Chains A and B, each alone.
Chain A
Amino acid sequence: MSQSYDRGLIEDFGRWREFSAGMWAWIFHKFTGWVLIGYLFTHVAVLSTALTSASADPATVAANQDLYTQTIQALESLLIVRILEVGLLAVAVFHILNGTRLLLVDLGLGLGSQDRSFYASLILTGAIVVASVPTFLAGVSL
């Protein structure tokens, strides 16, 4: 055994077609977790910069002319932002549902049906997201 062949990591990523339910659940959970962290920081950055430079004059605020209101209104009038909000909801809902599933797995409950609970959380996420579309896309034009 003078030498051996190390096949490395590259080929593993090519095996996504062979993943099973538990593996997909893990990958989606990681992905949605990172998206939520990314959103959190963007959210804090946007709101805090809008707040600090907002006008403190009550009259300006009442007339919706302060920077904070203008920033939010400008963002909400963009279709892409509305679509991203739908995506954010999808990511958050999946993370919550799969997190509940993982909680049950950690408690040792229903380990035999872990794949079905993953599919259930996917379907539920889809249903909630579809139902939310009219609300999120209301009153926005291209």
Chain B
Amino acid sequence: MSTQRQNPETETDNAEAEADTETETERNEVARRRAEQRERERVKENERATADAERYHLKVFRYDPEVEGKQEPRFDDFHVPYEQGMTVLDALIYARDEFDVSLTFRHSCRQAICGSDALFVNGRQRLGCQTQLSDLDQPVRIEPLPHQEVVKDLVVDMEHFYDQMESVEPYFQTTDRPEGELEEQRQSRENREQIKTSTRCIWCGACMSSCNVAAGDNEYLGPAAINKAYRFAMDEREGEEVKQRRLEIIEQEHGVWRCQTQFSCTEVCPKDIPLTEHIQELKREAVKSNLKFW
């Protein structure tokens, strides 16, 4: 709309028309200012949208039995600005430092070695420090590990997992002395290769949490503990006597035979340990040590 009236209706009341034009100009001025305002808002909204696009939307599980408002579990939303190479753990640390200092989660080395930050991210057990945000769909749903009791926010009670790990005696034992002049227990290259992947366990508990046999049977040793048992049972330096004792532990009612080969543990293991393969191998070892054909 132009500011000028196209054709004044009458020539007679010029003064009136002039007054009209004046109010018209004023009105147009207001309209222009409003348009500018709208334009500014639109630009600002666009900027906010682009900023939001660079932010990652996290939905984080919150629960704290000691705080009145957090006794009922809920999900909190955090919009974390994205940087290239950002991991789920980086995003959680940002959210804690910038938005909510009460956000609680375990972390330590940030390089997939300490095994503290196994989390349930977008429906799968993963290490927070090993998972790139860019690999995940938004919103990124971050929950504590399933099948373990939640102590606070993303922190679960790992005591049961550690008990199972301890129950397989996860340390080197032998009755054999090193041969001849040797001070140390030497291992053959082939034997080392055989147990190589099993030594990589970082005790993060992702496998145990993904296993739904372990979820239904609290006494089941679980993939991590059986893998630990495999690591030592297959180690030739321990000798036959110790191996027999180890096999007795793993072939109990709640040992290897509870595994129903769902491959969930192998699927989620952040260190790519072929857990199911090791469990199956121990099953065969257990059968071999018990089968007698004479």
What sequence of 0s and 1s flags, for each residue 50-77 of chain B, a beta carbon within 8 Å of any chain A beta carbon?
0000000000000101100000010000
Measured CB to CB, the closest approach of chain B to A93, in angstroms, equals 20
* Bound Cα distance A56, B267 (Å): 61
For residue B65, which residues in chain A have a CB less than 8 angstroms away from its CB?
A: 2-5
**Contact present for B149 and A102 (CB under 8 Å):** no
The 18 listed contacts between A and B (C-beta, < 8 Å) are: A1-B151, A3-B65, A5-B63, A6-B149, A7-B73, A7-B146, A12-B146, A17-B123, A18-B123, A21-B263, A23-B212, A23-B262, A23-B263, A107-B284, A108-B284, A112-B274, A114-B263, A115-B263
Q: How far is the CB of A103 from chain B (nearest CB, A)?
A: 11
Q: Is the interface of A mostly helix, strand, loop or mixed?
A: helix
Residue from A21, A23, A108, A115 within 8 A of B280 (CB atoms): A108
Complex partner residue of A26 from B63, B262, B267, CB under 8 angstroms = B262
Q: How would residues 146 to 162 of chain B score, 1 for a CB under 8 Å from any chain A CB and 0 otherwise?
A: 10011100000100000
A23 to B149, alpha carbons, bound, how many Å? 23
The CA-CA distance from A89 to B180 in the complex, in Å, is 66
Question: In the complex, which residue of chain B has the Cβ closest to the Cβ of A3?
Answer: B65
Interface size on B, residues (CB 8 A): 27
Task: Give which listed residue, B261, B264, B283, B284, contacts A102 with CB less than 8 A.
Answer: B261
CA distance A96 to B123 in the complex (A): 31
Q: How distant is A33 from chain B, measured CB to nearest CB, in Å? A: 12
Q: Quick check: B146 and A1 within 8 Å, CB to CB?
A: no
A47 interfacial by beta-carbon distance below 8 Å: no
User: What does the 1/0 interface line of B102-135 toward A look like (CB < 8 Å)?
Assistant: 0000000000000000000001100000000000
Minimal beta-carbon separation of A126 from chain B (angstroms): 22
The docked-state distance in angstroms from the alpha carbon of A26 to that of B251 is 22
Q: Which listed residue (A12, A105, A111) contacts B215, Cβ 8 A?
A: A12
Query: Taking CB as reference atom, which chain B residue is nearest A114?
Result: B263
B261:A26 contact, CB within 8 angstroms: yes
- The residue on B at minimum CB distance from A1 is B151
Chain B residues engaging chain A, CB cutoff 8 angstroms: 63, 65-66, 73, 123-124, 146, 149-151, 157, 212, 215, 260-264, 266-267, 274, 276-277, 280-281, 283-284
Interface centre among B146, B150, B262 (most CB of A within 10 A): B262
Shortest C-beta distance, A25 to chain B (Å), equals: 8
Contact A106 B280, beta carbon cutoff 8 Å? yes
A26 touches B150 (CB 8 A): no
Most chain A beta carbons < 10 A, residue from B66, B151, B261, B284:
B261
Segment 88-108 of A: residues with Cβ below 8 Å from B: 102, 105-108
Q: Specify which chain A residues have a CB less than 8 angstroms from the CB of B212 in the assembled complex.
A: 12, 23
Residue in B closest to A106 when the chains form the complex, CB atoms: B280
User: Is B124 within 8 A of A5, CB to CB?
Assistant: no
CA distance A6 to B73 in the complex (A): 11
Cβ of A87 under 8 Å from chain B: no
Given A12-B215, A111-B277: A5 and B267 within 8 A (CB)?
no
- Say yes or no: is A20 at the interface (Cβ < 8 Å to chain B): yes
CB-CB under 8 A from A111, the residues of chain B are 274, 276-277, 280
Task: List 4 additional contacts besides A12-B146, A25-B262; criterion CB under 8 Å.
Answer: A3-B65, A3-B66, A22-B266, A106-B280
Contact B150 A7 (CB under 8 A): yes
Contact of B261 among A12, A15, A105 (CB under 8 A): A105
Residue of A nearest to B281 (CB): A108
Cα of A21 to Cα of B264 in the assembled complex, Å: 9
| Smallest beta-carbon distance A5→chain B, Å | 4
Partner of B262, one of A15, A22, A107: A22
Instruction: With CB as the reference atom, state the residue of chain A lying closest to B73.
Output: A5
Chain A residue, CB-CB nearest to B143 = A7
In the complex, which residue of chain A has the Cβ closest to the Cβ of B287?
A: A106
Determine which of B149, B266, B276 lies in contact with A4 in the assembled complex, contact meaning CB atoms within 8 Å.
B149
Q: Which of A3-55 contact B (CB under 8 A)?
A: 3-7, 9, 11-12, 15, 17-18, 20-23, 25-26
* Interchain CA distance A9-B229 in the complex, whole Å: 29
